[in-house]
Chains A and B, each alone.
Chain A
């Protein structure tokens, strides 16, 4: 298993190098640079020139590329053009926020999705199944930003906002610094409610559909009939025998959802004023903040690689038929 992971990770190095190189080329092919992105008629041209020199944009492209590679291997990723700080610090601010948001969403997606799927499969064609199917389909087809805006309007409606004063934007309340430790945790949690729902609900609906199908397939198998025939309680049949096998295909979804979640945060972070990676990358592209775009792209790429590896490893962990390291 270790050897296999090592091989996969080694193989990822040229892939990631290719990704950042391609990003670098594409970024510089796009017209404009950070100074044209400022585009302010009140700045004299010689100051713009000075800015370009300070940012190192007057040097030949290969030199800029090698320079970036060097800063990349020394771990600080260069300096952000727009925030004037090391990129590592810029990302260090935004990444935890996104990890918090998408991590909790991921838990919600799988817990909620699996639970709904199991209920639907066990009570196939019941009213609960029909309602959940309809609901899942509806939620799945709603774009995230729209769901976000509707949630904001819903909790801000006069009826709801009176007894449920949920925050609709930002990460903390304005009195956050005055709260005790538990107060701060609670404050954070309250600010997470809406973005997590907006980010996770659609994916949870998707997982529910997969889970239902997978579960239905399993409960039709001979060994489930055997388990029932042995007189095992229905609870143990479903949760102990059927669920474990039905989860197999869902595990591989986990690896696929990881990068997808990061992509989805761009819109959700915008709507809910959440200062995370999605908004950072979006603003960096608009401002032509090359070092930040490169570093963020690298992170997203690494996440896809890791997500896929994780899915494969988990697959091996839950399915005894799958073995790596060629034995």
Chain B
């Protein structure tokens, strides 16, 4: 048996019948790019798929087309919409669509598709996960095959939703009843695209295959340079890295920091990093008396050696946080400095708040109660490591942190339920690109699932309410900075670090550009250096 296998092995990809896979020609056109991700995506229908970082990118940059795209300064630029007219009072907007875009089944993309996508997104029976995008968009009217008018209530960054939600085909999904939309075959079995790539095949849990769309409009960059993109699911990190080193994977998404040095040491591989909206934080339950005092929360932050944590768990990929706004955001102020690591000042601050070690047991106490609390976190190795480092840091100022690990679904239950059965928790997550954090801090949302900390400050509320109403970018920048500084001052969360995104790729793959808009953004412009051997 082995002998036969060796025989198969020798030929590599060259043996076997058929025509063989497309290869890169000498001008660097053609070929197949293999992208590896650790998890399957829940589908490519933006109307019903639960939010997923990579599914959204495949929708926007590979398979489908949004009306507008985010430019380098995160301002909207034309994409499926050739242009748009905004009425002076910002209450109406007319999109003029391109007339040269077709679905992969040959049907033209029309204003009807745009209106259909909008109506479904607004339909209460459709579980559209990003309803907030179109909260202030009221109605739509098709005014021509490629002209569509919307009525809305003005707010800042009003086009953002249209950069995130691509248009879906009405002639495919129009007959599907709302209740069946979540299980439509369009979602993961037979999607119909109009983007730079077309859908070829999807094997659940294994791979998605896309091929270049030869009809993609020339002034949007024309057809992609590569023939195919294979999006493979490889759950194990070691296997993923080995595939990249062997050359069977070209682009490795979400490179874990502990593999960074291995990839950097390999001369055939490159690492690209970018500031991302992902951050790690500790949320304090300010409903509990020990965390109700802002001085205590600040002291705890000062006791944490966050730079060391960043070095240890992230291999330095990121920056120590200066508040809720990270360096990826256009309103970030480069003059911001993180709260310093200062255990002595932390001890003094705790003493000022009444916490001193009266019984000499090494743990500070107040009214006979020692400062002891549980830090909940999920079973990620990174988070467990951070929890242990925090435990050691806080022990140095006489605070007894007890790390507790809970599986994600049950952790979510504990921190979101109205009883809030937790002292503090440690997580990391990815922020939406439009900052509206009222769900976390607004006084009138204290009983809502996401108001974990229970923090309330009417002044902060007023600022947060004015942010979405600020139409002028400079004014909005000022408000966002004021907001971020107030949250940093109050420390309802301890923001640990902002994480940099990282991808590893083979040097033979060119044209990859990564930033906060995503790793797959330039997929249509990727190209492969012809193999020398």
Contact = CB atoms under 8 A, between A and B. Distances in A.
A273 to B, nearest CB: 4
Contacts of A187: 16
Interface string A254-266: 0000000000000
B183 A170 contact: no
B242 A152 contact: yes
Interface string A49-77: 01100100000000000000000000000
A190 B236 contact: no
Contacts of A170: 206-207, 232, 234
B216 to A, nearest CB: 22
Given A36-B412, A79-B183, A169 B16 contact: no
Interface string B1-16: 0000110111011011
Nearest to A192: B5
B236 A271 contact: yes
Contact of B414 (A31, A83, A193): A31
A288 B448 contact: no
Nearest to A85: B183
A213 interface: no
Interface stretch (B197-205, B365-373, B521-529): B197-205
A93 B246 contact: no
B246 A183 contact: no
Interface string A223-263: 00000000000000000000000000000000000000000
A54 B124 CA distance: 11
Interface residues of A, number: 70
B416 to A, nearest CB: 7
A327 interface: no
Interface string A129-169: 00000000000000000000100110010000101111111
- Among B43, B203, B240: residue with most chain A CB under 10 A: B203
A288 B201 CA distance: 27
Contacts of B289: none
B388 interface: no
B371 to A, nearest CB: 28
Given A31-B413, A168-B243, A179 B16 contact: yes
B6 A178 contact: no
B461 interface: no
Given A153-B242, A168-B246, A173-B13, A94 B204 contact: yes
Contacts of B209: 177
A152 B238 contact: yes
B412 A163 contact: no
Interface stretch (A16-24, A37-45, A119-127, A312-320): A37-45
Given A32-B409, A271-B236, A279-B205, A47 B18 contact: no
Contacts of A164: 6, 9-10
Contacts of B450: 41, 45
A36 B233 contact: no
A277 B50 CA distance: 23
Contact of B203 (A51, A168, A171, A193): A171
A190 B5 contact: yes
A272 B43 CA distance: 23
A171 B207 CA distance: 10
B128 A47 contact: yes
Nearest to B409: A32
Nearest to B233: A273
A121 to B, nearest CB: 24
Contact of B18 (A42, A79, A183, A288): A183
A106 to B, nearest CB: 15
B410 interface: yes
A90 interface: yes
Contact of B449 (A45, A190, A273): A45
A180 interface: yes
Contacts of A85: 183, 188-189
Nearest to B13: A175
B106 interface: no
Contacts of A173: 13
A149 B414 CA distance: 36
Contact of A32 (B50, B128, B413): B413
A15 interface: no
Contact of A149 (B16, B19, B128, B238): B238
A165 B6 CA distance: 9
Contacts of A50: 124, 127
A153 B129 CA distance: 42
Contacts of B17: 179-183
Contacts of B58: none
B32 interface: yes
Given A270-B235, A279-B205, 6 more contacts: A40-B51, A42-B130, A45-B448, A175-B21, A180-B18, A182-B17
13 contacts: A32-B413, A43-B51, A45-B449, A50-B124, A85-B183, A156-B245, A169-B236, A175-B32, A177-B209, A183-B15, A183-B18, A190-B5, A286-B407
Interface of A: 30-33, 36-48, 50-51, 54, 79, 82-86, 90, 93-94, 149, 152-153, 156, 161, 163-175, 177-184, 186-187, 189-190, 193, 270-273, 275, 279-280, 283, 286, 288
Interface of B: 5-6, 8-10, 12-13, 15-21, 32, 34, 40, 42-43, 48, 50-51, 124, 127-132, 179, 182-183, 187-189, 200-201, 203-207, 209, 228, 230, 232-236, 238-240, 242-243, 245-246, 248, 407-414, 416, 429, 431-432, 439-440, 448-450
6 closest A-B pairs (Cβ-Cβ)?
Answer: A180-B17, A183-B16, A32-B409, A275-B205, A175-B21, A31-B410
